[in-house]
Homo-oligomer: A and B are copies of this chain.
Amino acid sequence: MTRYNQPLGGNEMPRFGGPVTMMRLPAQATAEGLDACFVGIPMDIGTSNRPGTRLGPRQIRDESRMLRPYNMATGAAPFERMQVADIGDVPINTFDLKKSVEIIAEHYREILSHGSVPLTLGGDHTLTWPILRAMKERHGPVALVHVDAHADINEAMFGEAEAHGTPFRRAWEEGCLLNDRVFQIGLRGTGYAPEDFDWGRAQGWTVVQAEELWYRSAAPLMERVRATVGDAPVYLSFDIDSLDPAFAPGTGTVEPGGLSTWQALEIVRGCAGLNLVGCDLVEVSPPYDPSGNTALIAANLLYEMLCVLP
């Protein structure tokens, strides 16, 4: 028997029963004593098209019930070496996005004060901005692996600084990022100007448009990522809409021509060896995939993130 928390197994309680925590792990109120923690941010008031990501954390937890402890592809055994639990949700103010941004930042300051690595269940992408702010306060500027259909570097949306299309602009403004170690992967679709994706490039970021990855493995890209990032602290932000809607229909700002789950798995697995200080999986919108499969895939990716934590 291990000394670490274990996911509740299917031979003790049917998969469709038991607690609705991430991987049916024990719940606890804070990150105290945890090497890593799953934490939900039930928010969609930063979305600009379809809503529903407020229900993302609930459905991701629900559909995580099938996950067993060992990674059959990589051999990873996270529950043999880390103490992990589900610390519940951030009590955002759903009627005020600006206040929610502050609430999130404060919540993550507290999590980080325990030396725990947060794995976030989103929630819309606005949330990455206050997390990065807290990350910087703890770790200084961080490298970034940002997987997404969109660059999310708008100056503003509808005149507002904080929205799900602006987090990386805000983080950049506040010096949260190591600009020579930022990767944006999977960008595509339409824009307000032909140079939308070049803004990041101008800051020194590496932008990998989706087209560059079509029909091929993402493993070589991840080698490049690892070589560039080195041992800098790095944050992984994974927007489920980076995937083609065939693979992840349950999201709000869909762009065809995206990544496959094969590539998504390679990208997360390719972060092994990096000095990950935090990860998020955002933009799962349950009403747009009642089968639960998008959330189930998200749960798998969060598990894969856990597997590659240092």
Contact = CB atoms under 8 A, between A and B. Distances in A.
Interface of A: 9-20, 27, 40, 42, 44-52, 54-55, 57-58, 61-62, 65-73, 75, 77, 88-98, 157-160, 162-163, 187-194, 196-197, 209, 211, 214-217, 244-247, 249-250, 253-258, 260-262, 264-265, 287-293, 296-297, 300-301, 303
A256 B297 contact: yes
A77 B193 CA distance: 9
Contacts of A20: 19-20, 58, 61-62
A161 to B, nearest CB: 9
Contacts of A197: 72
A262 B215 contact: yes
Contacts of A18: 88-89
Contacts of A17: 40, 42, 54, 57-58, 88-92
B246 A72 contact: no
A190 B72 contact: yes
B287 A52 contact: yes
21 contacts: A14-B54, A16-B42, A16-B94, A17-B42, A17-B90, A45-B94, A51-B52, A51-B55, A52-B287, A67-B190, A68-B189, A73-B188, A95-B160, A95-B162, A96-B98, A214-B262, A215-B217, A244-B246, A244-B247, A245-B247, A288-B292
Contacts of A249: 291, 293
A119 to B, nearest CB: 16
B49 A15 contact: yes
Contact of A187 (B72, B187, B211, B258): B72
